């Protein structure tokens, strides 16, 4: 498996976990909203991505959850610039990375 495909699968798995955590605690989305607001104020993330996340975070909650687990190209591009950093602790992230690598093989 090439490293790009592996990274995409890891991101999808991590964002699946994030979707579950958001479903259990919708208040976690506020952290992402604050991060996106900072991106827009600072210009630290390309405006198109920041605006797309802003729109998702202010729209229907199910639409956001669906995007987090969508394997499509547009969702994959957005996940590369995710405002959900910090929701998954490093130990859990490393466990997911290891599990995905083992599942996909060499």
> Confidence class of residue 1 from pLDDT cuts 50, 70 and 90?
low
Digit-coded pLDDT (tens) for 44-73: 999 999 999 999 999 999 999 999 999 999
**pTM for the structure as a whole:** 0.90
Q: Is the pLDDT of residue 106 over 70?
A: no
Ramachandran quadrant class, 2 (left: phi over 0; alpha: psi -120 to 50; beta: rest): beta
Give CA–CA dist 26/10, Å, rounded.
23
């Amino acid at each position: 498996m090439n490293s790009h495909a592996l990274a995409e699968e890891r991101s999808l798995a991590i964002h699946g976990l994030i979707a579950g955590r958001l479903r259990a605690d919708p208040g976690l989305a506020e952290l992402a909203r604050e991060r996106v607001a900072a991106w827009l104020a600072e210009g630290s993330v390309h405006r198109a991505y920041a605006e797309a996340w802003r729109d998702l975070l202010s729209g229907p909650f199910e639409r956001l959850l669906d995007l987090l687990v969508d394997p499509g190209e547009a969702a994959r591009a957005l996940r590369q610039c995710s405002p959900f950093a910090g929701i998954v602790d490093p130990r859990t992230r490393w466990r997911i990375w290891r599990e995905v690598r083992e599942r996909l093989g060499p």
